[in-house]
Structure 1
Amino acid sequence: MVTVDRVTGVRVSSVTLPLPVPISDAKVLTGRQRPMTEVAMLFAEITTEAGLEGVGFSYSKRAGGPGQFAHARELAPVLVGEDPNDIAKLWDKLVWAGASVGRSGLSVQAIAAFDIALWDLKAKRARLPLAKLLGAHRESVRCYNTSGGFLHAPVEEVLERAAESVANGIGGIKIKVGHPDPAVDLARVAAVREKIGDDVTLMVDANQQWDRPAARRMCRALERFGLGWIEEPLDAYDFEGHAALTAAFDTPIATGEMLAGAGEHAELIRAGGADIVQPDAPRVGGITQFLKVMALADARHLQLAPHFAMEIHVHLAAAYPREPWVEHFEWLDPLFDEHLEISGGRMHLSGRPGLGVTISERARAWTVAEFRV
């Protein structure tokens, strides 16, 4: 076998990204989680004999960041001396190196940072944006904003943020639901629909906080708003319950962001539990595993709307055969020197090679732990 290049160094960094205000969704209102004040980022930087460098990242909200970093630190030496082009082989090598703690969840989320860095490096070697390396179907992707629609914000603020997003070129608005009082949810949805009009796509996200009877009642009540989708109406692993909702209602059901591997997505898709699949590359183990989810979803003629991490997902969504959506959050903007262009309701690919982002000095200043090999 011909070796094209070799990994000479790996740098793993844990970065704590502060959020401007504490964030609350339905999981906070039900007492299951505390408000979110920061995001723990895991960065991997891989350098090679040929002088190339790949950058990848994973993340954790509320808990798990130190665990991801600790596992990544253990695994980093496995990459040294390997050909970085053999990405699938390296994913298997990394996952088996830590197999005693499992092949999903935190372990693969740590591997995701390495896997994404390897894909970034491979696209840079080819001097192509990642989407072009994978085979793009489009130069831009429909995008919707989520960060302005959380439940901690009064409805007046949600309306102002929605109007601002649409004015700035965003194509859809998603707001959080799952309030203990269903009337509050319906009033907020009605207010946003009236504010943005019928021509702008509106989605809602219950963050898994309804049981089956409540989900049926709310899906029925929400039908009149012509929503783009209802997201996570049930527990993420209630595939049968989600399948029943997809069969019963016209409004599409979206879920998948909390699933921690391609195998879990395969079960969801096999059960018919989603009209719109929402994989998250850092959560499923990186781009290598995300591509498997894409293939499964495409085979069942499903729509795709990746969760969070738009800097990665704009490339993957651009390579999906069916017109997808990408979620817009401005939260990660301070971490990178470059930012994505948004206009006409769409997020545009840049011509920069790889992911097209470099870690900012501000992110370096937020580093709380680092390991090099």
Structure 2
Amino acid sequence: MSVSGNSDAVSYAKVIDGKTAADTGDRIEYVKVSLAFLPLSTPVSDAKVLTGRQKPLTEVAIVFAEIRTRDGYDGIGFSYSKRAGGYGIFAHAKEIADNLLGEDPNDIDKIYTKLLWAGASVGRSGMAVQAISPFDVALWDMKAKRAKLPLAKLFGAHRDSVRCYNTSGGFLHTPLDQVLKNVAISRESGIGGIKLKVGHPDNAEDLKRLTAVRKELGDFPLMVDANQQWDRDTAIRMGRKMEQFDLVWIEEPLDAYDVEGHAALTAALDTPIATGEMLTSYREHEQLILGNASDFVQPDAPRVGGITPFLRIMELAHRHGRKLAPHFAMEIHLHLAAAYPIEPWLEHFEWLNPLFNEQLELRDGRMWVSDRYGLGVTMSEQAVKWTVQTAEFGKQP
């Protein structure tokens, strides 16, 4: 009886389910990778420039990925690099791009692992994963479009808007009187917080600028960013002097990989510590989070390898009660921040605006998730004009 019953069940399954998921799944047929250089109207300097470690920033390299499938779906993603690295990311992306062809675009984690192994010889962090980011982001963009949802809704949004702060008006190269004008303009535009760069060779100059900005803002949310340029003694001394300003956080007071130093500051100061933007893998963020090295985690999806590892970082951060403030790339991070259980902050940078036909909505101190499917952005003609190299794989559907 049992043998016969099993045989009947198999026959019944064949009748009911004649095809498997593998038989019916979509397939990637075409991949395009592009390298563009976005020029900045004014060279930008932070503390790394004043300490002689870097030159002023004049342009941002953008690596785009466009993916299309047999069933007519498409997705767009991007990674970026400031100063050096753009050509390297593009070169590695070209080397691994054909690994996507023939894959079901819905199997994003599987594809991510495949791309990691394709470049395993050069590691699982840094440029190796930054070259995966455009593909990974494009696949998530496509998946949300297939579901006819904004990406935030595909993840499961906790909110439809995210608190948003501005950085670009407070760089160290900007004279104080212009910083104060920029602060006023940002508030009028609907921004929800202001971040001021610190890290002058003369610490008194930082305190002078911070005092003036706090006076201008009143009790408006204010953050500072030292861009890794203090040693431990300077960081604790400046951190204590800055307690009076009621800051939302002190960002990157120490070298990005100094987990012990950041943990000591986090324990010693009332002002929260934020760091993580320079880390380039899940494992590096894991060390930061498990080491109790910050109050705010600041992962950057293009830098850590895309949305897939960013989601893992989010899960770990939430499990350990950390707050979230993603770095740069608001076009991607708006959706991720909207899906984080603890109220996050989003960094507003208008630099990337010319790359896209659509712009994000800022009002009432928050950035709002649009009703457009996926990321909700498409490449502009200006982005195409700034493109210097392209590579195509597969066939145009």
TM-score by length of 1: 0.99
Alignment partners' CA distance in 1, 2:256 and 2:338: 26
- Tell me which amino acid in the other structure corresponds to 1:147: S
Query: Residue deviations 1:210-254, cap 9 Å, x none?
Result: 000000110001000000000000000000100000000110000
Note the C-alpha offset of 1:187.
0.5
Select the residue among 72, 91, 115 that pairs with 1:94.
Answer: 115
In the aligned structure 2, how far is the partner of 1:291 from the partner of 1:157?
A: 38
2:277 is aligned with 1:257: yes
In the alignment, what sits opposite 2:175? Answer: 154
Aligned partner letter, 1:231: E
What does residue range 189-228 of structure 1 map to in structure 2 within 5 Å?
A: 189-198=210-219, 200-228=220-248
- Secondary structure, counterpart of 2:164 in structure 1: strand
Q: Residue deviations 1:260-316, cap 9 Å, x none? A: 001100000111001000000000000000000000100011100000000000000
2:101 equivalent to 1:67:
no
Deviation at 1:197, TM superposition (A): 1.1
- Counterpart of 2:207 in structure 1: which amino acid? L
How far is the alpha carbon of 1:318 from its aligned partner?
0.2
Q: Aligned equivalents of 2:370 and 2:168: distance in 1? A: 23
Q: In the aligned structure 1, how far is the partner of 2:261 from the partner of 2:268?
A: 11
In the alignment, structure 1 residue 279 sits paired with structure 2 residue 299: yes
- The aligned counterpart of 2:41 is 20
Amino acid at match of 2:108: I
Match of 2:383 in 1: 363
Residues 63-92 of structure 1: per-residue CA shift (max 9 Å, x gap)? 000000000001110001100000000000
Query: Which residue of 1 is the match for residue 312 of structure 2?
Result: 292
Q: 1:255: how far off?
A: 0.2
What is the CA-CA distance between 1:33 and the residue it aligns to?
0.3
Residue type at the aligned position of 1:38: E
Q: 5+ unaligned residues in a row in structure 2: which ranges? A: 1-19
Distance apart, 1:204 and its partner CA:
0.2
Please list the CA deviations of residues 164-191 of structure 1 after superposition, one character each: whole Å capped at 9, or x if unmatched. 1011100000010011000000011111
- Distance in 2 (CA, whole Å) between partners of 1:323 and 1:174 is 18
Pairing of 1:179-190 with structure 2 (within 5 A) = 179-190=200-211
For residue 2 of structure 1, the aligned residue among 21, 44, 61 is 21
Match of 1:239 in 2: 259
Give the Cα separation in 2 of the matches to 1:190 and 1:146.
17
**Larger C-alpha radius of gyration, 1 or 2?**
2
Rounded to whole Å, the distance in 2 between the matches of 1:110 and 1:156 is 40
Q: Number of aligned pairs?
A: 372
User: Aligned partners of 1:51 and 1:19: how far apart in 2?
Assistant: 36
SS of residue paired to 2:132: helix
Corresponding letter in the other structure for 1:331: W
**1:134: which partner in 2?**
155
* Structure 1: gaps of 5 or more residues: none
* 1:304 equivalent in alignment to 2:338: no
Deviation at 1:58, TM superposition (A): 0.3
1:196, distance to aligned residue in structure 2 (A):
1.2
Distance 2:59 2:51 in 1: 20
What secondary structure, in the 3-state scheme, does the structure 2 residue paired with 1:222 have? helix
CA distance in 2, matches of 1:118, 1:260: 20
Is 2:361 the counterpart of 1:325?
no
Could you tell me which of 174, 182, 186 is aligned with 1:165? 186
Aligned equivalents of 1:367, 1:128: Cα separation in 2 = 29
- Distance (Å, rounded) in 1 between the aligned partners of 2:213 and 2:63: 35
Structure 1 distance, partners of 2:324, 2:199, is 23
Query: What is the Cα-based RMSD across aligned positions, in Å?
Result: 0.5
Within 1, Cα distance between the matches of 2:163 and 2:169?
17
Match of 1:339 among 349, 359, 384: 359
Which of 102, 125, 130 is matched with 1:109 structurally?
A: 130
Percent identity (aligned): 67
Write out the 4+ residue segments of structure 1 that deviate beyond 4 Å after TM superposition: none
TM-score (norm 2): 0.93
In 1, the alpha carbon distance for the partners of 2:217 and 2:384 equals: 38
Question: Per-residue deviation at 1:335?
Answer: 0.1
Within the candidate set 92, 98, 105, 1:77 is matched to 98
Aligned partners of 1:58, 1:264: CA distance in 2, in Å? 19
User: AA paired with 1:212?
Assistant: R
Partner of 1:315: 335
Q: 1:2 offset after TM fit, Å?
A: 1.1
3-state DSSP class of the match of 2:350?
Answer: coil
